[in-house]
Structure 1
Amino acid sequence: MKKTQLLCLLFLSTLLFVGCAAGPNTAAHIATSNGHIAGFWLGLWHGMISPITFIISIFSNNVNFYEIHNNGTWYNFGFVLGAGILFGGSIEASSRK
């Protein structure tokens, strides 16, 4: 592969990945209409139920996959941990012989 083609491919790949980066959450640290801000424990729960919530959100506009009114890093950590508990445990169990 020529050097220019390789550089062009590298540039397009970088552009693709940067284009998929998440933007800022402008609703973080802002309470909902009832004064609630989601934290770590709610993030953990939302992560664990994320597959079910995703399927329901396809058919309903009243269900969201992710709580945007959260406290930032702790909610995100709980969400990722909850999803990891759900998906990571099943992968490890299926690899046992």
Structure 2
Amino acid sequence: MKRLIPILTLLALASCAHQVGGTVHPGAPGFLFGLVQGFIAPVAFVGSLFDHDIAVYAVPNNGAFYNFGFVLGIGGFGVGAHRSRR
């Protein structure tokens, strides 16, 4: 029960979040762009430490499809890679 209260609190706070209207438009980066940015995210992160014009995540984007591509690119294909024969 003690673990459930912080989780429910975080879910309640997350439910208040919303995307600002007008930031999503048809020409925004989509799934493929998210996938590519996910692959290069570690390099982009290091670059962003030295140059403020480099971003790890594209804003604005088209929402769920970009996010899905980004997650797959950043490591979604590596799920289960730690299971190797010894």
**TM-score under structure 2 normalisation?**
0.68
1:1-97 equivalences in 2 (<5 Å): 7=2, 11=5, 13-14=6-7, 15=9, 17-18=10-11, 21=14, 23-26=17-20, 28-30=23-25, 36-83=27-74, 84-85=76-77, 88=78, 92=81, 95-97=84-86
Rate the CA distance shift 1:21–1:61 in 2: closer, same or farther, 3 A. Answer: farther
Identity, % of aligned positions:
34
**TM-score under structure 1 normalisation?**
0.62
Where do 5+ consecutive residues of structure 1 fail to align?
Answer: 1-5
Higher helix share: 1
Number of residue pairs matched by the alignment? 82
Rate the CA distance shift 1:56–1:37 in 2: closer, same or farther, 3 A. Answer: same
1:20-70 C-alpha deviation (Å, 9 max, x unpaired) = 849434264147xxxx41011001101111111111112211011111111
* RMSD, matched Cα: 3.0
